[in-house]
Structures are given as C-alpha cells and as structure tokens.
Amino acid sequence: MKRDKLIFNLIEKELDRQETGIELIASENFASKQVMEVAGSVLTNKYAEGLPGKRYYGGCEVIDEIETIAIDRAKQLFNASWVNVQPHAGAQANVAVFLALLQPGDKILGFDLSHGGHLTHGSPVNFSGKYFKPFFYGVDRQTGLVDYKKLEAVALKEKPKLIICGASAYSRDWDYQFIRQVADQIGALVLADISHPAGLISRGLLNDPLPYCHIVTTTTHKTLRGPRGGMIMIGQDFENTLGLKTPKGDLRMISSVLDSAVFPGTQGGPLEHIIAAKAVAFGEALSEDYMKYIIRVKQNAAMMAKAFVDLGYQIISGGTDNHLMLIDLRNKNISGKAAEVALGKAGITVNKNMVPFDDKSPFVTSGFRVGTAAITTRGLKEKHMEKIVGLIDEVIMHPEDEAHLKKVHKKVNEMMEKYPLYK
C-alpha cells in the first residue's frame, strides 16, 4: 500500500507542535510510547462483542486474556470490585450508566456546567439534558467551593434518581461521604465521574469515591495518562448488595445491568487495541515511577497556583487540591477567548473556560483553565512553574503585541527543547 504522506506529514507537524509548546490543557497528557504502540497494534482488527469468556465472535482467546488483564489491573489500581473497560470514552461511560439506572424523563442532579461541570451531567445540548430532567448545584459565589447546602436542598426538594458529582474545571476535593448521605435520604444513587482527577485518586492523593458512590466513571487519558478511553467501576461494598429492577421487575446485580448497558445497550464491538493500551497504562499507573509523577503533578499545580496569585490573578476558590485550576480574568481586562488566542501564538496551549457566574458567553468566557498533568510528564518541576506563569503574564499583559508574543514563543521553545517528548 502506498504510504499516505499527507496524513503522516500532518502527524509529524502535530508532533512538532506538541514537542515545542507548553501544554497546559488540563484534560491532556502524553501517553507513553508503549501505550501508543499497543493502541496502534493488530488488535484493532478484531471483533469481540461481549465480555471475556462470553463473546459473540470466534478467535477471542488472546483478546480475552488481554481484556481480563486490563480489568484486573483497574480493580487493583482503584480497589474496585467490578470494572468495565469497554466504554470508548468518558462520555460513553456516562451514557451507559444513565441507560442502566434511569428511565427517560427521570430527574438527575448534577454540577452546573458553567461552574465547572461536564456536558454529560445534564446539559441541555447533551443527551443527559435532553432525555432526562436535570437539576443543578454549583459553587458558592464567595468561596468558589461546591455549595453542599444547595446540593442537599435541591436533592431533598426534587428527589432526583441520580446525583452526579465530579467536574471538569473544579480545583478542590469532593465530600463524597456527604453526598452519599444526602442520596440515602431520598433513595437516590450517586455517580462520581472522576474523569479528571482519577490518577490522583488512584494513588491516594485525593478522597476516594469508591467507598461512598454507587458507581464511578472515568476517562483513561487525562491524569491516568493512558489511551483515549473510558471505564466504569463499582467499589467493594456495592457489587453484591445492590440489585436493580429491570423493566420486567426482576432484580439484577448492578454490575450485570451496567455490563449490558455498555454492550449491547450503547456500543457495538469494543476497541480491543485501546483496551490493551488501557491495560498497559494501568500497569504503569501501579508503578513507583507513576507514584512519583502524580505527586509531582499535584506539587506543580500548587506551585503554579501560588505563582498566579502572587501576580494578582484570581483563581476560583483561591487555589487547588488537584492538578488543575480555573483563572478568573475579570480583573485583567481580557476575555478567556482573547487570552487563549494570544497564548496560542506564544506556544502556550490553554483552553478558555466559563467561570462561575460568568456574564460572557461560552464562546468568549471570562477565564481559562490550566493543568499540570502534561507538563509534568515532560519532566517540568516546581521551579519551572513560576517561569511559565511569568510567560503567561507577559502574554496577557500584551496580547496584541505580535513582536512580544514572538519573543515569548522563543522562550517557550527554549524551555521545552530541554525536555524532549518520545525520544
């Protein structure tokens, strides 16, 4: 077959972009070479609908071994009693949970998207807001912390069937125990979506939702540093205690309802090349090296937050407990969109982000979100954080000075040259 130069050249170009810039998008990371090698392997050729030992296709003996290893490693990493590693991504994991637990029109309670929540937690533009009836809690205007009183008040008033916690742009830890106690008062189930902080949770650097929340979903490509994908987990206490009524009225184990909601409920053939890459990433996440890495991610984020505060930037909630932070630019006279564009010209990649109680639209926004998972993989340490924030500040102070942006870009390239990717 003729090599597709067009696409390979573009991949080279993208590699160059990733290598030379400072990657601060909080949801991104750099998967290891072996994770990428496995994701690009012959396993992509195989159909394996079903689960290990219970497939609808022949020739799955090897695939079964691989998927079983992925499941076992995920269980070990999160101390889970049951895991499904097949969801194609985080959104698909949530779709499967909703299909398993809810009927169309059921009430759900989630964290407001504009306060840092995720589209799949009830946004009107997403299936979760179209097919279900969403209610929201958010953060307190003064503290920037989750307003647990409001969560409780809305839950007791509306009696949602499912309470969702977890976020995409919230820099503080969660009180899973409190949320569970609220849910128990109204007989609701709790879903913790730990897509962002999963890596920190897996190594004990943040509160563990698995003992409190009935179901936990995550992506595998953010702080977990695996291939792009999702998974669903259940903690030790729930697999055998929780039965769910099927529409026919039979009682079924929650794990089996979730398995059927992934396949055949919402997906066809699993991506076994990605599942194998998940297994490799989970193996890496169980290592001492990853432990050092994830501790550094958290230290770097704390240092970065301090550097921003020192330069007069407002961080929602005043700091961070995890790998990310949300910066409110309303005192800096620049929108999130303009900051994202100017920083991009200087080789610093961030994403504009709504801040709580934002008066600008989602396309403009008053803030931006940054995280340290990717730059920590590159090898950057606490001493670099202040430098990076200094460069960001130079850009934000002179967003339209193209010559100055070029100068910053040069400094960015010089910093990153010393930390090669995939060499």
Ligand X SMILES: *Cc1c(COP(=O)(O)O)cnc(C)c1O
Supply the residues annotated as catalytic: 47, 49, 193, 219, 222, 228
Alpha carbon 327 to its chain centroid, in Å, reads: 18
Judged by beta carbon, residue 50 or residue 227, the one nearer ligand X is: 227
Query: Cβ-count burial of 45 within 10 angstroms (0-12 exposed, 13-18 middle, 19+ buried)?
Result: exposed
3-state secondary structure of 245: strand
Query: Which helix or strand (DSSP H or E) is residue 248 part of?
Result: none
Q: Cis before residue 264, ω within 30 degrees of 0?
A: yes
Please give the Cα distance from 59 to 46 (Å, whole number): 9
Number of Cβ within 10 Å of residue 241's Cβ equals 9
Least CB distance to ligand X at residue 224 (A):
11
Give yes or no for a contact between 304 and 123, defined as CB atoms under 8 angstroms apart. no
Nearest alpha-carbon partner for 168 in 298, 323, 317: 323
Please give the Cα distance from 357 to 365 (Å, whole number): 11
Judged by beta carbon, residue 118 or residue 203, the one nearer ligand X is: 118
Least CB distance to ligand X at residue 14 (A):
18
DSSP-assigned beta bridge partners for residue 371: 324
Least CB distance to ligand X at residue 169 (A):
8
Helix-helix angle 382-397:336-345, to 10 degrees:
110
Judged by beta carbon, residue 90 or residue 160, the one nearer ligand X is: 90
Judged by beta carbon, residue 166 or residue 399, the one nearer ligand X is: 166
Please give the Cα distance from 172 to 187 (Å, whole number): 27
DSSP-assigned beta bridge partners for residue 135: 109
Give 204-232 as a DSSP string: TSS---TTT-SEEEEESSSTT--SS-EEE
3-state secondary structure of 105: coil
Residues that bind ligand X (CB under 6 A): 27, 89-91, 118, 120, 166-168, 193, 195-196, 219, 230
Judged by beta carbon, residue 93 or residue 396, the one nearer ligand X is: 93
Please give the Cα distance from 114 to 62 (Å, whole number): 45
Residue with the CB atom nearest ligand X in the bound state: 90
Judged by beta carbon, residue 228 or residue 306, the one nearer ligand X is: 228
Nearest alpha-carbon partner for 93 in 208, 22, 177, 191: 191
Phi, psi values for residue 165, rounded to 5°:
-125, 165
Judged by beta carbon, residue 136 or residue 342, the one nearer ligand X is: 136
Judged by beta carbon, residue 195 or residue 320, the one nearer ligand X is: 195
Please give the Cα distance from 213 to 217 (Å, whole number): 10
Please give the Cα distance from 172 to 194 (Å, whole number): 12
Which residues fall within 8 angstroms of residue 314, CB to CB, at 6 or more apart? 327, 328, 330, 331
Judged by beta carbon, residue 195 or residue 372, the one nearer ligand X is: 195
Q: What 8-state DSSP symbol labels residue 313?
A: P
Phi, psi values for residue 202, rounded to 5°:
-60, -30
